[in-house]
Structure 1
Amino acid sequence: MKIAIIGASAGIGSETVRLALQRGHTVKALSRNNAPLAEHQSLIKINGTALSVADLKTVIADTDVVIVTVGTNNKKGTKLFSESAKALVVAISETAYKGNVLIVSGFGTGDSAGYLNLFMRLIIRFFLKDQYKDKTLMEKIISESKLNWEFIKPGMLTNGPLNTSYKVLTELYPGVKVKKISRASVADYLVNEAEAPRHLLDHVLLSS
C-alpha cells in the first residue's frame, strides 16, 4: 500500500517511515527537512510543511492512508497542531482522498487529562501545557470533520527498542495506567493499523 506520513523526519515519524518501508509499503514523507531519512527506492521525500494546504495535497495524492506524527519543540503558545489540523481538513476536502487518517496525539489531551497520574499532571502543567491545549483543539477540529480519523495517544515516549507486547486501550476508567512506550512501538501500532484498521473514530491509548 502507499502511505503518506506527515511529520516524517524525526521521532515517531521516522520510525514509522522505516518500519513501513521494511514491510514493503511505498511511503510519501512530508517534512520541512527530509535529509535525515535514508534513501530508499520506495520512499518519496517531499520537503514542505503540515501548515500548507498545497503541500498536504501533494503528499496525500494517490495514497491509501495518512499518518500524522507532527511534533514541535516550541512549548509556549504553539498552534501547530490546531492549524495543521485545519489545513488537513481543507486539503482532504479538496481532493478525492477517502482513506483513513491516523493522528498521533498524547495521553493527557481532552477527556484523558482527568486520568493522568500526579507526576504527568505536573509535567504537562509546567512544561507542556500549551502543547496539550493545542492538541486538544486539534482533536476537536478533526473529530468534527468528515475525515475517517483515529487518535493515537501514547504514554511518555522513549527511544527504546520495539516491543510488540504493548497494550492497546480504548476506554478510560478510574486507575487506568498508561506507561512509557518506545517510539518504535508506537510506529508498529501505526503501521499495523494502516494495514488493518480496528479502531477508527476512536481514541486509542498505547502503553508498555
Structure 2
Amino acid sequence: MRLTVFGATGRTGGLLVRQALAAGHEVTAVVRGQHALAEHPRLRVVTADVMNPNDIATAIRGTDAVLDTIGSRDKGPTSVATDAALAITKAMASVSVRRLILISNSARIAGPGDDWFTRFVVKPLILRALLRHSLDDMAGAEQATRDTALDWTIVRAPQLTDSPSKGSYRTAVERNVTFGIRISRDDLATCLLDLAGDPGSIHRHINVAS
C-alpha cells in the first residue's frame, strides 16, 4: 500500500513508519521540520504545516490510506489533535483520498468491556481528572473525523508503553477491551497497519490493548 503518516517523528508514528517500510509499503512521512528519519528507497519525507490543508494535500494525493498519530504532550488546554484532524480530513477530501486511521484514547470511554472498578472509578473519577484536556482534544478529533464522508476507523488505545512488542494484541469493536489497560507502541503500530487494509473496520471504533 501507499501510506501517508502524520506524526511520523513521534514515538508511535516513528515505529509505524519503520514497520510499514519493513512490510514493503511505500510511505510518505509528514514532518514539521528537522527529523531523524533514516533514508529508505520507499520513504518520502514531506515538510509541511499539518494545520494547513493546502500545505499537506500534496503529501496525501495518490495514497491508499492516511494514518493520523498526532497527539499533544501538553498538560493544559489544547486543540492540537482536533485541529490536525480537521486539516487532514479537509485535505483528504480535496484530493479524493478516502481511507483514514485515527489514533484516539480509550481513557474517556467508560462502558461495556470495562471491569466495574475501571468503569465507575478509574476512568470517570481519576483518569478524566488527570487527562481532561488531552481527552477533550481527542474527543474533538474523533468528532471531526466522524463528521466526514471518509472511510474512517478510530482506534482507541489505553496507556502506551515503550516496552518491546509482544507480537500480539487484542481488539474489541464499539466497546472496551476487558482488562485492557496498556499496550506497547510497537504493537499499536502493528494494529494500525493491519486495520489500514481491513475494510471491515470502516466506520468502526476499534479498541485495542495487550
Q: TM-score, normalised by structure 1?
A: 0.90
Q: Paired residue for 1:100?
A: 99
1:12 aligns with 2:12: yes
Deviations 1:165-208 (A, max 9, x none): 211111327x9332210000000011112233331101111111
Q: Paired residue for 2:73?
A: 73
Q: Paired residue for 2:2?
A: 2
Gaps of 5+ in 2: none
1:138 aligns with 2:153: no
- Residue 125 of structure 1 aligns with an amino acid whose one-letter code is A
Say which of 194, 197, 200 aligns to 2:196: 194
Residues 34, 46 of structure 1: 8 Å contact kept:
no
- Residue 103 of structure 2 aligns with an amino acid whose one-letter code is V
Deviates more, 1:69-78 or 1:46-55: 46-55
Deviations 1:150-175 (A, max 9, x none): 000111000012223211111327x9
- C-alpha change, 1:162 and 1:55, in structure 2 (3 Å) is farther
Gaps of 5+ in 1: none
1:154 aligns with 2:153: no
Residues 174, 204 of structure 2: 8 Å contact kept:
no
How much does 1:10 deviate? 1.5
How much does 1:120 deviate? 4.8
3-state secondary structure, aligned to 1:165: coil
- C-alpha change, 1:196 and 1:34, in structure 2 (3 Å) is farther
Q: 1:24-35 to 2 correspondence within 5 Å?
A: 24-33=24-33, 35=35
Task: Give the CA RMSD over aligned residues.
Answer: 1.9
Distance 2:2 2:96 in 1: 15
How much does 1:34 deviate? 5.4
Aligned pairs, number: 203
Q: Paired residue for 2:42?
A: 42
Distance 1:153 1:96 in 2: 26
How much does 1:82 deviate? 1.4
Q: TM-score, normalised by structure 2?
A: 0.89
Distance 2:106 2:170 in 1: 13
Residues 30, 47 of structure 2: 8 Å contact kept:
yes
Distance 1:58 1:34 in 2: 19
Deviates more, 1:135-144 or 1:84-93: 84-93
3-state secondary structure, aligned to 1:105: strand
Residues 168, 207 of structure 1: 8 Å contact kept:
yes
Q: Paired residue for 1:169?
A: 172
